[in-house]
Structure 1
Amino acid sequence: MNRRTKALAAAAALASLALLATACDADSVTGRGVAADAGVFYGLGDDHRLYRWDVGSDAAEPVLDLGGAWDAEGDVGTVLRASLSIDPRQRTAAWIEGGTPDAVLRFGDLDTGEITTAAAYPLDHACIDPAWLPDGSALLVHRAAVWGAATAEGDATPLPVAAWGDTEWYSPDAGQLPTTVELPEDGCRVRWYTAEDGSAQAIYHDLQLTEFYRIDTDGAVLDTVNIPGLTGTEPLTIGLVDTDPAGRYACVVDGYGPYGAFKGGFTIRAESGTRVIDLASGEAAGSEESASCTSLHDDGYVSRDGATAAFIGYDGSAKWSATLPGAIKESPVLFFYPDGEE
């Protein structure tokens, strides 16, 4: 068995184990009707720290200091918000630090606060942002020559260029892993989920924002889902925000403009979506009154309205709502993990 085959087998096995553990241990949010002990939120504070808040507790607690990102160069805040993610096990945060050819991919241990460097640039975050496997064992990044030789007048930083390259896996535990995913179609926003057979699959969308592709860990297209009428800004590099753990629902952003970010200013990855789509039918899911979405889960999604976060079932029912604590009430990005998903 070669290294590539071993890596795929290991990823599938880990995803299967994670799915089994979730099925056995998860304490579903559905039916509780209250926010207490519903799960955990992570958000960014104005002090550049990442906070964890157990829903219903008195206050959010800092778990990671991201202030060092501002020692880098370039449009640091935009890149951080566009690339920051947390693995499904809630063990590791990942982000791209800096907005120049010298930027790096960082891992942050959410238990110890230790920050390590995973890989140096060039790594694309504008279209294929770093995305975790469902079991949190590895992160898929896009190794592309995103920086050209030309510079803007009076600017020492090269201009980004449209370029496509190989994808690579990076693990917080094992470092770089063999490349396995070769995307057959140019596109953006790879989001992984666990298929019925326990294997890892993903969804991403084409550059025109008209269809989704379902792929396996080789990149082979398993299915194409049409999504006509979805619009964005130029260039069309946004659209998909999240998919649920089974890959049936998608949180998408429509009509995303240059000031679509939570606290103003354009970010190249939408920070929340404007509607949830049932990919089996192509129809909208959830509630028209709470159509915004930040993350999707087994039995519903998180909808945000300012400092209020609500959990909405895919049938449109409101499960609970909670007021975010002061430390993260204005966080530009918001990550939620239902009770039992660790």
Structure 2
Amino acid sequence: MTGLRWGILATGGIAHAFTSDLRTAGLDVAAVGSRSTDSARAFADQYGIPRAHGSYDDLIADPDVDIIYIATPHSHHLEPAVAALEAGKHVLIEKPVTLDADEATAIRDVAAGHGLLAMEAMWTRYLPHMVRIRELVRAGTLGDIRAVSADHTQRAPLDPAHRMNALELGGGALLDLGIYPVSFAWDVLGAPVEVRALGRLGDTGADTEVAIALTHASGAVSSLLTSSRAVGPNTAQVIGSEARIEIDRVWYTPTSFRLIAPDGTVLEEYRSEVDGRGMQYQALAAEQIVAEGRTDSDLLGFEESIAIMGTLDEVRAQVGVTYPKER
């Protein structure tokens, strides 16, 4: 533990999952902030957090907080992230990092101006099984990578006001769920050189299904699917000329995978052994980055987060999703 004191901004479901894993890892959670004093106090009591603030501003101003986890909906990441950075706090921002690439660029500029860490909380990148997959890919074990496929599909509530359906909250399957397979394709194959997307929109105008095809500089292709109305296999594959990797359900959480030769021989089988949900690995990485005097992640640099948002912007444009602030 490097001694960073964490502040949790917002008290929704993802904040609970993250804070629970921080406690599992023995990290220092110093304060929580909510728009409701009662909510902040209840959250603090549940996790043994010393200070509960009844506003985000009070949390950001807390002198005993070094780094803030931004757990609001992605439509509301920009303002608190910028405020925290301007107050001298590092920020770990829940994925997707913002609503669009322009907002992500604004955060990058403020972080750079203050010499602070701004990092997207794409926790999947930091999980042990993904670390091993990255090792296999970079060692050339799979040969020439030809294709990546992945889905993130869930059944979300149908309530039009739910964050998955409300355009004013950045609703839609793409940004909330599709960010996972898109980021995975970037991780394995790098930036796409061509983006094609088809989708279906719900009654609110938010996307409910999106199919994405990416072509990468190597010539490899990615086939990605997301849905907020139906549950698919939630598996992923990396297919190479000499071997393939099959990642089991649920591929973006701690799980198992197999390295398989073209003749079907299983060359390696990996099974995750992780305490909690596994969100602590990104927090440990953030602490290590700061301890080393760096201001960017080596697994997901902020420039890459901005570029991934650019890919999502292009997908939204092709599918026909526009958020109120863009009109």
TM-score by length of 1: 0.30
TM-score by length of 2: 0.31
Larger strand share, 1 or 2 = 1
Larger helix share, 1 or 2 = 2
